[in-house]
Structure 1
Amino acid sequence: MGIKLYMQIFNVKERKIFDLFFVFFKYRITYNFSFYYIG
């Protein structure tokens, strides 16, 4: 909920950057979790 309000404050460019950062962050968390779970 708070993230949507947070994104509404920024314009389109900053929102795109935030989306890229969020995808990268989520990918890192998933990769680290999978790596930890496997090994």
Structure 2
Amino acid sequence: ILLFGDGKDNRLLKEQLISLRIQFKNTVEKDLDNLSGKQ
């Protein structure tokens, strides 16, 4: 079983993971700002 194809697929997957992580971090920080703002 091949988990990764050629390097191109691997890089694409890595970029998607990075952008997902950035989106997630931004969302969490926004939520934290909202929570602390309400207190």
In the superposition, the TM-score normalised over structure 1's length comes to 0.72
Deviating 4+ runs (over 4 angstroms): none
Match of 1:36 in 2: 31
Give unmatched runs, 5+ long, in structure 1. none
RMSD: 1.5
Give unmatched runs, 5+ long, in structure 2. 35-39
Which structure has greater helix proportion? 1
Give identity over the alignment, percent. Answer: 6
Structure 1 residue 10: Cα displacement: 1.8
- The total of aligned residue pairs comes to 33
Structure 1 residue 24: Cα displacement: 0.2
Q: Which has the larger radius of gyration?
A: 2
- Structure with the bigger RCO (C-alpha within 8 Å, sep 6+) is 1
In the superposition, the TM-score normalised over structure 2's length comes to 0.72
